Structure 1
Amino acid sequence: MDASILAYILNDDSDDEFDNIHQLPHRRPRIIRKRINWYYIYDNIDFQRRFRLLKHHVLMVLERIERKISYRTKNNEPIPPLIQILVTLRFVATGSFFICVADFCGISKQSAQSIVHKVLIAIAEESKDFIKFPCETNDLLRMQLENFNLSGFIRVIGAIDCFHVRIRSYGGEDAEIYRNRKGFFSINVQAIVNSRLELLDLVARWPGSTHDVTIFDNSRIKSRFESGEFENGLLLGDSGYACMPYLLTPLQNVNTPSEILYNESQIRTRTMVERCFGILGKMFPILTTGSRFWTPTRTMTLITACGVLYNISRLSTTRDVISNERLL
Structure 2
Amino acid sequence: MSSLSSLSSLSSLSDEEINIRNIPDRKDFWNDLEENEFRSRFKFNKPRILHILSKIGHLIEPDTRRSKAIDARTQVLIALRFYATGSFQAVLGDLVGCDKATVCRILQRVTKAIASLAPGEIMMPNGQECHQVAQEFHEIAGFPRVLGIIDCTHVKINSPGGRLAESFRCQKGYFSINVQIVSDSRLKIRNIIVRWPGSVHDSTIFNNSPLCAQLESGRYGNFYLLGNSGYFCKRFLLTPFLSPSTTAEENFNKSHVKTRNTVKRCIGVWKRRFPCIQKGITLKKMDTILNVIMATAVLHNMAIEFEEEFLDIDLDDDELVNMVPHGPQNFSERTALVKSIF
1:196 Cα offset (Å)? 0.2
1:107 Cα offset (Å)? 2.8
**Percent of aligned pairs sharing the same letter:** 36
* Residue of structure 1 aligned with 2:219, choices 229, 248, 267: 229
Aligned to 1:112: 103
1:193 Cα offset (Å)? 0.2
* Residue of structure 1 aligned with 2:63, choices 69, 72, 78: 72
Letter matched to residue 78 of structure 1: A
* Contact 2:265–2:312, Cα closer than 8 Å, also in 1: no
* Residue of structure 2 aligned with 1:250, choices 240, 243, 250: 240
CA distance in 1, matches of 2:232, 2:293: 26
Higher mean C-alpha displacement, 191-200 vs 51-60: 51-60
Higher mean C-alpha displacement, 63-72 vs 40-49: 40-49
Aligned to 2:321: none
1:35 maps to 2:26: yes
SS at match of 1:206: strand
1:299 Cα offset (Å)? 0.8
* Contact 1:52–1:283, Cα closer than 8 Å, also in 2: yes
* Residue of structure 2 aligned with 1:142, choices 124, 132, 137: 132
Aligned to 2:124: 133
CA distance in 1, matches of 2:95, 2:227: 43
Bigger-Rg structure (1/2): 1
Aligned to 2:323: none
* Contact 1:193–1:272, Cα closer than 8 Å, also in 2: yes
SS at match of 2:231: coil
- 1:1-328 alignment to 2 at 5 Å? 31-73=22-64, 75-97=66-88, 99-109=89-99, 110-136=101-127, 138-317=128-307, 321=308, 323-325=309-311
Higher mean C-alpha displacement, 197-206 vs 101-110: 101-110
CA distance in 1, matches of 2:234, 2:69: 54
Residues 46-68 of structure 1: CA distance to partner in whole angstroms, max 9, x if unpaired? 32221112322211110011110
Residues 98-120 of structure 1: CA distance to partner in whole angstroms, max 9, x if unpaired? x4302312232222111111000
Letter matched to residue 67 of structure 2: N
CA distance in 1, matches of 2:239, 2:94: 47
CA distance in 2, matches of 1:287, 1:126: 19
Alignment coverage as a number of residue pairs: 294
Aligned to 1:24: none
Letter matched to residue 168 of structure 2: Y
TM value normalised by structure 2:
0.82
* Contact 1:54–1:313, Cα closer than 8 Å, also in 2: no
Letter matched to residue 83 of structure 1: T
SS at match of 2:162: coil
Letter matched to residue 115 of structure 1: I
CA distance in 1, matches of 2:262, 2:34: 31
1:219 Cα offset (Å)? 0.3
Letter matched to residue 244 of structure 1: K
Residues 39 and 146 from structure 1, CA distance in 2 versus in 1: closer, same or farther, beyond 3 angstroms?
A: same
1:208 Cα offset (Å)? 0.4
Letter matched to residue 211 of structure 1: H
* Contact 2:142–2:255, Cα closer than 8 Å, also in 1: yes
RMSD: 1.9
SS at match of 2:234: coil
Aligned to 2:335: none
CA distance in 2, matches of 1:54, 1:153: 37
CA distance in 2, matches of 1:237, 1:44: 40
Query: Structure 1 unaligned runs (5+)?
Result: 1-28
* Contact 1:165–1:187, Cα closer than 8 Å, also in 2: yes
* Contact 2:269–2:312, Cα closer than 8 Å, also in 1: no
CA distance in 2, matches of 1:30, 1:277: 46
* Contact 1:181–1:209, Cα closer than 8 Å, also in 2: yes
Letter matched to residue 245 of structure 2: N
SS at match of 1:164: strand
SS at match of 1:229: coil
Runs of 4+ aligned structure 1 residues displaced above 6 Å come to none
1:290 Cα offset (Å)? 1.3
Residues 114-163 of structure 1: CA distance to partner in whole angstroms, max 9, x if unpaired? 11110000000000010111212x21100000000111100001100000
SS at match of 1:324: coil
1:293 Cα offset (Å)? 1.5
TM value normalised by structure 1:
0.86
Aligned to 1:21: none
* Contact 1:50–1:93, Cα closer than 8 Å, also in 2: yes
CA distance in 1, matches of 2:251, 2:179: 30
